[in-house]
Each structure stands twice: as structure tokens, then as C-alpha cells.
Structure 1
Amino acid sequence: MKTNNDYAMFRRKLIAAGYEPLSQEPFLQGYLALQDLKENASQVSTLLFDGEPGAGKTYFAECVAKMLGAKLLRYQLTPNAGAEQLLYDLHFLRIIQGMAGVDVPKSPQDLFSSGILVQAFQESLHGPTLLLLDEFDKALPEVDSFLLGCLQDKAIHDPHIGSQPCDPANLLVIITKNDQRTLSNALMRRTRRVYLGFPHPDQECALLLKHIPTFPLQEARTLISLANKLRAQKEKALKVPSTPELIRCANDLLVAPAEVAGSVVEQWLVAFPQDRSLLKQSTAELAGLFKYASGR
């Protein structure tokens, strides 16, 4: 039986690695996932982070890797990606040169190297490894069952590479998604799940001021209030502002001339012209709300 001290130590180490304690759930599920590595190495421990873009899903994985001293392998899934993108990294220049007769490959294996999933399984045989599959929901639905099979078998089976086992005691897989599509029920059952929304306004304000201590408190609250007005209309908006964008906006406001403060805020809050109508204030009104930050 693990004690509260074990969990408290995990929290302290993860915070020391840079993770901001905005929610209990990432700490709890992260702690339990690491216990799987220690106590139940018969399976590959897997975490699924769902939620808003910019809510800190990828950063959590980076901090866990830093805390563990693990090799971090990150792969950004692209729209309609298939399983082959996880298995192979094609050498397009070699392919083109071979077609032109400049550098004819001796075998098909000369045209590709190991993909990110194969690399992660290989690395786990030598030491702690964290595989981050970012925006996994962009991939084709059949990739769910492919990944599930690899996790369950603790090995990759492919006619081109043969079988590649992993060491489940050394491998943590973190999947992030932005609600592009629903993952398969089988894969969902296989993973620990965490949903990350945007922080509470007080938490987000504290985080912003931690990064930029000289930013005025009242204007930090105003900036977050404007962002939350847009977030409340996310069904209409093409994109809503994330916490990192608010931090960059605040930093720009400290150095920008007062007369352009409204444009700075508008640029960071509204990514696409189609969303401008969702922000009720004019550029001049926005500038008036951030006079102090802009040095006036």
C-alpha cells in the first residue's frame, strides 16, 4: 500500500520539474501511471490527455520526462495519418535519387528508417523512455486498433521490420487529443484518462503573474476576462486564446507603445478575422483597458 508521502513526493518532484499545479487530476493519474511501471510491468502504461489546445497537455509530458530523466520521443500526428507513419520514416531524397538512377538503393530497407513507435520500443530496452503522441485524434481511426495491439502485445509486429519488443517497465506512452474525433472504446478502456480545461480565472491570473511579475494585477484580470468571453463562444469561434498566448500578450503589452495596446490585445486574442465579431470591444476600447501596462 502506497502512502500519502509517496504521492506528495511525486507532486513535489513534478512541480520542481516545472509543471504548474492547476489541477489535481494530472498529478493523480500521472502518479498512478508511474506506479504501473514499477508494480505492473506486464503492460505498457498509457495516459490520454484530452482537452482544449494550450491547456498544458504536451507540457505535462515534457515535465514528466524531465522528472524521470527519461528519453523523450515526441511525434506530431498529421491529418489522416496511418499506422505506417508510426512505423517508418521514409527517406524521400533517396527515393527520388533512386528513381533518377543517381543513388539506386540496394534493398527496400535503404529507403526508410525506424518510425517513432519503433524507436520508442527500442529505446525502452536500454532505459526510461517517454513516447508522446501529440494530437493523436488527427490520425485515421484504424490507427487506434494498431496502437492498441502494440500496447497489449508489448511488441510491434510488422512484415518489414519483424517483431520489436519493448520493456514495459521502462516505457510510458502519453497520448494527447484536441477533440477532433472520438477514439475507439477499446483504446479508451486501455488508457488512464485526464481532461484538461482552461484554468480557473484566479489560477490563470496567478500563472500569468508568475511568468510576468511586473504586469498589473487588474489588467491581468481584464485580459483573462476577455479571453474567457471568447472561450464561452468556442462553438462559434475558429480558435479561442490559450494561456500561453495570454502570457505572450501580457509580455508584449509591457514593451509596446500605449497607442498600439489595443492592436496587441486583439492580435493575441483573435487568431482569425472571422472571429473578430465575437470580441465586442473596439481596438480603441481595448487600448483604454491596458493603459498602465503600456506605460501610460
Structure 2
Amino acid sequence: MERILIVTLPNLTEELTEKLISVGYVPRRSDVLALAGVLTAPGQAGLRAVLLEGPPGTGKSAFAEAVFQVIRGNGDRVEFIVYQCHSWSDADELFVGVDVAAAVAGDSGSVRQDGVLAKVARASERGMVVLLLDEIDKTMQRTEALLLDWLQSGRVPVRPGVQIQTTMNNVLCFITSNAHRELSDALMRRVRRVMMQPLPIAQQERLLMVRTNLPPGFVRVLWKLAREIAVHEGNNALSLQEGVRALHEAFSFSGDQGDLALTLTGWAARNNKGRDYVRDKVIGSRNLSAAWSELCRARQLVKAEAEKEEARHAV
């Protein structure tokens, strides 16, 4: 019987966690385990690929970008290639297509252009590549099928009978899905699957404080109101990006509680159900008054800090 050698790297998960945090991404344990697993997977296991599933706003694309930043921070040569999937994604966009402008101009040497997988294959000859195939569930299933051989073998057909080979050890592929449709078993067998849920509220608040540099009280109250509006619509995954922008807009421009309500509506409500909730339940509420009080207090704190800093420089 063939002996299977299992090598454990107990410190790798801790190191990955620290490095991801250092670039501004706070990973879940499931994120770290998946990343450690694919980074150390045997070479004969196919291309290193992770499928990130979950509702919008749970950090799927942010995870891929954070991994790229970690690799770049190590001093390694690395490229980050992003492809936004859509319903008309096809072999032209994945493998090789036609540059219409070059064809019209009669530039025969530039008519053919690399698709995203051909670009990855060529870039992998130069160094590391982090590929993000975003929202694969928006494609037709036949397009998903085009990925299968590449994930297994790294081969990219560029013309009949001609292929280029991906340097598979140099590629880390992240595929995201918002579950608009079920993905094929064939794809699922080739990827490490991670289900991403919204971060705990306390962790969301800490990240918003770091990203906006705004006082905790204001962040907590406004984010709570924004989440209430989103949840009323059935959206349990209001993104941190939306939170950062709402906090910035509210802090910078709100002149009264009415402005605050408009900002909350603009960032947290996506349909009339949310807008009606703001009109009927938020405007005139104690929670909105509390948010306005925290906003005024936050402005005073920021102003006081700025005056202290100005005084220090004046000495």
C-alpha cells in the first residue's frame, strides 16, 4: 500500500491571518484554512482555485485583492487580473478574441487579442498571478464549462491546434458567486469552496472606524440605522463599502436630520420598501435624533483634534 505523507504547517494559518490583517482585511477562519490549503496543495492536483460563495457585500472580491496585496508585500513579482463575468462571456473573452478597431483599421497583426486566460498564462511565465473571475454565476453554463480544462491542465487554446501552457504553480485563482444559479459538479470538484457570511457586527464596526477614522459612537449609531433599513428590505449583507461612503457623506455634508435621512436612504435603501421604512419609521425617530447628536459630537471631536494638531505645528 502506498504510504501517504501528510505535512502539517501549524504556523502558516497564523502567519496568513496576520498578513491579511496588515493589508486591511480581517479574515474568517474559513478564509485562512482555504488559502493555506490551496497554497500548499500538491502540484498534480490541478490549478490552485478557490470558489467564494455568498451574498453581495460579504468580502469575496476584497479577499482576492487582499491576497494579492500580501503576495506583493512579500516582494514577489505578482499581477492582479480581474475579469467581470456576464451573460455574454464566451470563448472569445476567455481564450482569444478579435480587436474590432484593429480589424477596421486593417492592422492584421493586432486583430487577435488575448482573452483573460491567455493573459494569465502569459503573465504566469513572468511571475505570480492572482486571477479574480468575478460573479461566475452570471455566465451561461457552457461558458463555465470552458474553464474546466484550464483549471485541470492549464492549457489555453489560442488558435486551432495551438495552445499556450499556464505555469500553474504561479497562479492563484479566485472565483466568486452570488448564487444566481447552481454551478456544475464538474466545476465544484476542481475548486476549494468557501461560503462567506457577513462579518460579526462588532467586527464590521471596527473596520468602519479604521477605514473612516471617525469616532466610534457615530459609526455605531449610523451603521445600526443603515442595517435596519437594509434588513427591512431583506438585505442582510449591506457592504462595508456602502457603510464607508454613507459615513463619509453624512459626516461631511449633513446639515440637519433631514439630510441624514436622505443619506441613509441613498446608501441603505435599494427599493421602495426601504424608502418607505425611512419615511415611516426613521424620520422623526429617537434613533435618528441619536445619530444626529453623535454626528454633531463627532464633528466637535474631529475639530478639536485638528486644532490640537495645528497648535503643535505652530509651536
Q: Specify the TM-score bucket, using the shorter chain as the normaliser.
A: 0.7 to 0.9
Structure 1 residues 81 and 180, CA gap change in structure 2 (3 angstroms): same
Structure 1 residues 161 and 172, CA gap change in structure 2 (3 angstroms): farther
SS in 2 for 1:291: helix
Structure 1 residues 105 and 208, CA gap change in structure 2 (3 angstroms): closer
Unaligned runs of 5+ in 2: 1-6, 73-77, 298-315
Deviations 1:84-131 (A, max 9, x none): 211235323234xx3xxxx3344xx63231011101011112211111
Amino acid of the structure 2 residue aligned with 1:248? R
Structure 1 equivalent of residue 249 of structure 2: 252
Deviations 1:228-268 (A, max 9, x none): 5533643xx6x963221112212222222224111111111
Q: Does 1:30 align with 2:38?
A: no
**Aligned-pair distance for 1:155?**
0.8
Structure 1 residues 263 and 287, CA gap change in structure 2 (3 angstroms): farther
Sequence identity percentage:
23
Q: Does 1:74 align with 2:86?
A: no
Unaligned runs of 5+ in 1: none
Counterpart Cα distance in 1 of 2:277 and 2:179: 22
Structure 2 equivalent of residue 277 of structure 1: 276
Deviations 1:259-291 (A, max 9, x none): 411111111111344642355524343642421
Structure 2 equivalent of residue 139 of structure 1: 139
Counterpart Cα distance in 2 of 1:212 and 1:267: 18
Note if contact 2:55-2:237 (Cα within 8 Å) is conserved in structure 1: no
Q: Does 1:18 align with 2:24?
A: yes
Note if contact 1:77-1:134 (Cα within 8 Å) is conserved in structure 2: yes
Amino acid of the structure 1 residue aligned with 2:289? G
Structure 1 residues 283 and 263, CA gap change in structure 2 (3 angstroms): farther
Structure 2 equivalent of residue 172 of structure 1: 172
Q: Does 1:48 align with 2:51?
A: yes
Note if contact 1:205-1:224 (Cα within 8 Å) is conserved in structure 2: no
**Aligned-pair distance for 1:191?**
0.4
Counterpart Cα distance in 2 of 1:199 and 1:27: 14
Aligned residue among 7, 10, 14 for 1:4? 10
Note if contact 2:229-2:274 (Cα within 8 Å) is conserved in structure 1: no
Counterpart Cα distance in 2 of 1:18 and 1:218: 21
Note if contact 1:71-1:130 (Cα within 8 Å) is conserved in structure 2: yes
Note if contact 1:41-1:169 (Cα within 8 Å) is conserved in structure 2: no
Which stretch of structure 1 is more off in the superposition, 209-218 or 176-185? 209-218
SS in 1 for 2:281: coil
Amino acid of the structure 1 residue aligned with 2:85? L
Structure 1 residues 115 and 141, CA gap change in structure 2 (3 angstroms): same
Larger helix proportion of the pair: 2
Note if contact 1:133-1:174 (Cα within 8 Å) is conserved in structure 2: yes
Deviations 1:126-153 (A, max 9, x none): 2111111111111111112110111112
Which stretch of structure 1 is more off in the superposition, 116-125 or 219-228? 219-228
Structure 1 equivalent of residue 304 of structure 2: none
SS in 2 for 1:173: strand
Counterpart Cα distance in 1 of 2:177 and 2:45: 26
Deviations 1:154-190 (A, max 9, x none): 2113535821101111111110111121111110111
SS in 1 for 2:40: helix
Note if contact 1:131-1:172 (Cα within 8 Å) is conserved in structure 2: yes
Counterpart Cα distance in 1 of 2:102 and 2:158: 22
Note if contact 1:215-1:254 (Cα within 8 Å) is conserved in structure 2: no
| Alignment RMSD (CA, Å) | 2.5
**Aligned-pair distance for 1:57?**
0.9
Amino acid of the structure 2 residue aligned with 1:257? G
Counterpart Cα distance in 1 of 2:36 and 2:202: 26
Q: Does 1:87 align with 2:95?
A: yes
Count of aligned positions: 282
